[in-house]
Amino acid sequence: MSFARAACAAIAAMLILAACDQPGSDGRDRVVYRHAIDGMPASLDPAHAANVYSSTLVVNLYDTLFRYRYLSRPYELAPNLASGMPEVSEDGLTWTIRLRENVRFADDPAFPDNRGREVTASDVVYSLGRHFDPATRSQGAWLWRGKITGLEEWIDGGADPDRRIPGLHAADDMTVVIELTEPYPQLAHTLAMALSAIVPREAVEHYGREFGVRPVGSGPFLLKQFDETRAVLKRNLDFDRGALDLAAEGHDPQRHAELGLGSLDGEAYPFIDRLEIHFIAEPTTRWNSFVAGEVDNVMVPPEQADRVLDSHDPLRFSPEIEQRYHTLAEPEAGFVLYGFNMANEDIGHHPDEQIDSANRALRCAMRQAFDWQERNDTFYQGLGQVFPGVIPPFLDAFDPALDAGSTARDPQQARSLLQAHEWTPETLPQLTYGLEASVHQRQMFEQFRARMSAVGIPQDRLRSRSFASFGDFSRAIANRELDLFLMGWTMAWPDAQYALQLFYGPNAAPGANSFNYDNPEFDRLFERAAALEEGEERTALYRQLNEMVIDDCVHIGSLSRTRLHLWHRHVRMLPDREMLGGYFLRFVDIGAAP
Amino acid sequence: MNTVRTLSVHKRPWSVVRTDHIATLVAIAYLAAALGVWLGLWADNWAEITGTMWADPSAAHWLGTNRLGQDILVRAVASTATAFEVGLAVALSSSIIGGLLGAVAGHFNGSPVDELILWLKGTIDAIPFYLLVVAIAFALQGHAMAMHLAMILAFWTTTARVVRAETIRIGQSGFIEAARAGGSTASRIIFRHLLPNLVHVLLVQATLVFVAAIKAEVVLSFLGIGLQDSISWGLMLAEAGQDIMAGQYMNFLVASLCLFGLVMAASLLADRLQDRLDPRTRHQRSVDIG
């Protein structure tokens, strides 16, 4: 090809590409929403979507069987890829889930002729089964392990996807049947998590390790670009879930009047052509990007809270902010807490009863030395809610009458505990405190160490170990390399079981039980509660489990933060990233800019 | 007839001290602050929470407190010791390494030994400084001395280059030729004849590296890849980034001014040392005076 021809071809290609960014074929301007989040997903493989950053993208690129209704609070499940809610047998052991018809995976070279095929029940079976293939390195296998009939044998037999799992199979092309070893009422919630998103086997095998950055799903958006700074998604034109039924999504004309969502009722979604998700970890940059109009939303950094609020109690935004932006203040569906590594005999469980008791005293003393209210005031502008245990206030099982003494600073009691168990600066163990390399985390460490120092735990007993990324930090916890760490836990479903499973023995690291708490009585009660339907008995058991964790001083905590969201007036949405989600993004619309 | 004034090697540094009183006084004040920290006389409680969040300057906290309620003045003074520790450790180590390798390369000018040292120097210089620090910090798994090692590795090359050039120049002098003719070994020539005549170069280089290391430490700590479990002006500035968003400027001002003062004083002294001790600039100065 001559140079002139090559140049002409290149110019033609550029013109075509440029045309792609012009107004849509229906004549209206391309609708672009630019969403900012405070972290970057490490992978877009649903099997690794265990945090809010990955989930935000995964639930928009893939389909899950169920999702949470857009506006209903308390959170309420709705069918997504499933055509309806699951049919559960009377004994609670057999679940039948029917799928929507004519849902297709996106066109991709992984498929014959590059043409995406219909999503079937076999894809659901494959997607759940691959969590148990060691090569997947799934972060969600614990959700279903030990709960599905014959699963363990199938795993022991090599987790071969071509072999049938007795308790997880396709009854026909559009029907999935799950048989459980015991009732598991939370199963539907697990099937709304990004971890359970449906992937095509062809793409997993075609892309191998690259699958984490080459998503092939059936969700409302398709990935166009993904790097360290942002992900660009475009509308999936094959995605068809009918018209938006606002009433069914929990729309309350009074409560949601300010959001301007009414005009979207009855319209097919998604409403935007292009979704940009910007990863901006630095709070100042995130705020400045929002103010400059480079992104359409911001989760207000705590340092900025006083600039946007008129009053902390009751919480009220300033009139100027209210006039300029949409606002939302809501408690997070989660909490932060300090945890001890109970597998370390220097601070945790010990076979010798006397040492075990002394270790417990040391943990309790450290708990009493710490001041959660100070942490709240220092880092969260006093907007968070400190509570004892691990059942946060937004859950039904939260016990408002529970003694809050475990969260109050009591240096005198801390010293007494240390003295009673003959802990001295010389006998205290040296503990490794893990943190991500950030200013905030380092200051939190200094605050923690200073409070320990004030009750006689010398500063050199607490050694910090910082990690460049959240992934490295999580890995160190999973490898039991840290003795003490601050962690956040975002609820994936609105039930205390999701918080209490942090202490369930079989979930020990690298599972969700990062504390490696091992208490057979706790495990027995937890298993009993897990099989119960919602009710007083289950709530009583949850509260009992919560108190066991407090009594054993396994953690120091906890605190639920309050999120302050702002978004531009011309954006019509309710941004809710709780429940590890980003489902709301399919319902975002952009009006005329002011 | 013009008179060329020259200074003896022993008198030169002292005369520098007298010619720049302000810089000297400032440097002495910083050194005194650092000595006090090392001796445990003050600022050993830099990590303690002694006040309330963002308290204004008062009798108890002369420059106020930071977000945690830690005394800003105490942290700034403790950071002085950190600056000297880093500056001195890096300046001394890189001068020794750079001096030795530069002298060896210069003495064996054009030989494979020289080529090898030049290649090593060129390779290290080709790696961007901050990338090198991150790589070393990663390789050392966050070791407390990772930043020091990275700086030493990065800074010795400049010293080596200057020393090599000076060695080649001196190597052509009669006394070196005489030593060679007399059968002196290479190590004897380097250690007995070359290095003593390179002290002025090493002194100037060490001062420049001292300043560069302090500045680099602040930048690295600010970026979160510097000191891990200590206090420095860089860490204070990193904290100030959050403070400023909340309208609190004291941490930023104090850390910036402390850094400015020491770097300015050390740079002025380094310049004056160079003016006095560098044969090229000294010659120029002598002519000007004459």
CA–CA distance, A24 with A272 (Å, rounded to integer) = 11
pLDDT at residue number B2: 44
Cβ of B225 within 8 Å of Cβ of A466? The answer is no
Cβ of B47 within 8 Å of Cβ of A450? The answer is yes
Q: List CB contacts of A55: < 8 A, sequence separation 6 or more.
A: A49, A193, A194, A580, A581, A582
Residues A503-537 have pLDDT tens digits of 999 989 888 899 999 999 999 999 999 889 889 99
CA–CA distance, A543 with A397 (Å, rounded to integer) = 7
Q: Which residue has the tokens 């390789």?
A: B139
What pTM was computed for the model? 0.82
pLDDT at residue number B271: 84
Closest CB from A283, A443, A459 relative to B239: A443
pLDDT at residue number B21: 83
- CA A96, distance to chain mean position in Å, is 26
B106 to each of A135, B69, B168, how far by Cα in Å?
A: 56, 55, 5
Residue B197 is assigned to a structural domain of this protein: yes
Q: Is the pLDDT of residue B1 over 50?
A: no
CA–CA distance, A44 with A219 (Å, rounded to integer) = 13
Residue B252 is assigned to a structural domain of this protein: yes
Q: Which residue in A439, A451, A465 has the most chain B C-beta atoms within 10 A of its own C-beta, making it the best mutation to test that interface?
A: A439
Residue B8 is assigned to a structural domain of this protein: no
- Enter the tokens of residue A546: 């919560």
Nearest chain B residue to A374 by CA distance is B68
pLDDT at residue number A474: 86
Residues B55-81 have pLDDT tens digits of 999 999 999 999 999 999 999 999 999
Higher pLDDT, A507 or A412: A412
- Under the banding of pLDDT at 50, 70 and 90, the label for residue A579 is confident
- Under the banding of pLDDT at 50, 70 and 90, the label for residue B5 is very low
- Under the banding of pLDDT at 50, 70 and 90, the label for residue A88 is very high
Residue B223 contacts A, CB cutoff 8 Å: no
All residues of chain B having their beta carbon less than 8 Å from the beta carbon of residue A447 are 49, 68
- Enter the tokens of residue B144: 């407390």
Mean pLDDT of A56-81: 95
pLDDT at residue number A489: 92
Closest CB from B138, B224, B241 relative to A284: B241
Residues A4-49 have pLDDT tens digits of 555 555 555 544 444 444 444 444 457 999 999 988 998 999 999 9
pLDDT at residue number B208: 92
Closest CB from A304, A439, A464 relative to B238: A439
pLDDT at residue number B224: 77
Closest CB from B49, B228, B245 relative to A303: B245
Query: Which residues, in sequence order, are bridge partners of residue A279?
Result: A37
pLDDT at residue number B9: 46
User: Angle of helix B12-19 relative to helix B250-277, nearest 10 degrees?
Assistant: 140
The interface predicted TM-score of the complex, written ipTM, equals 0.81
Range of the domain at B202: 19-45+70-289
Nearest chain B residue to A380 by CA distance is B67
Mean pLDDT of B126-153: 82
Residues A321-370 have pLDDT tens digits of 999 999 999 889 999 999 999 999 999 999 999 999 999 999 999 999 99
Residues A122-168 have pLDDT tens digits of 999 999 999 999 999 898 898 998 899 999 999 999 999 999 999 99
Q: Is the pLDDT of residue B185 over 70?
A: yes
Cβ of A283 within 8 Å of Cβ of B224? The answer is no
Closest CB from A284, A447, A463 relative to B68: A447
- Domains of chain A (ranges plus CATH)? 3-17+31-270+575-587 (3.40.190.10), 334-560 (3.10.105.10)
Task: Please tell me the least confidently modeled range out of A13-22, A93-102, A277-286.
Answer: A13-22
Cβ of B242 within 8 Å of Cβ of A303? The answer is yes
Cβ of B228 within 8 Å of Cβ of A464? The answer is yes
pLDDT at residue number A5: 58
CA–CA distance, A114 with A411 (Å, rounded to integer) = 67
Q: Which residue in B231, B242, B252 has the most chain A C-beta atoms within 10 A of its own C-beta, making it the best mutation to test that interface?
A: B242
The answer to whether A361 touches A369, Cβ cutoff 8 Å, is no
* B116-120 long-range contacts, CB within 8 A, separation 24+: B117/B160, B117/B164
Residue B123 is assigned to a structural domain of this protein: yes
CATH number at residue B176: 1.10.3720.10
Residue B250 is assigned to a structural domain of this protein: yes
Residue B215 is assigned to a structural domain of this protein: yes
Closest CB from B138, B225, B239 relative to A439: B239
Q: Quickly count: other Cβ atoms within 10 Å of residue A109's Cβ.
A: 13
Cβ of B242 within 8 Å of Cβ of A287? The answer is no
Residue B127 is assigned to a structural domain of this protein: yes
Q: List CB contacts of A10: < 8 A, sequence separation 6 or more.
A: none
Provide, rounded to the nearest whole percent, the portion of chain B with pLDDT above 90.
Answer: 60
Residues A528-562 have pLDDT tens digits of 998 898 899 999 999 999 999 999 999 998 999 99
Mean pLDDT of A451-466: 94
- Return mean pLDDT, chain A: 92
Cβ of B68 within 8 Å of Cβ of A443? The answer is yes
Q: How many domains does chain B have?
A: 1
Residue B83 is assigned to a structural domain of this protein: yes
B84 to each of A160, B44, B213, how far by Cα in Å?
A: 62, 16, 9
How far away is chain A from the Cα of B241, in angstroms, using its nearest Cα? 8
pLDDT at residue number A31: 92
All residues of chain B having their beta carbon less than 8 Å from the beta carbon of residue A433 are none
Residues A77, A82, A84: CA angle, nearest 5 degrees:
65
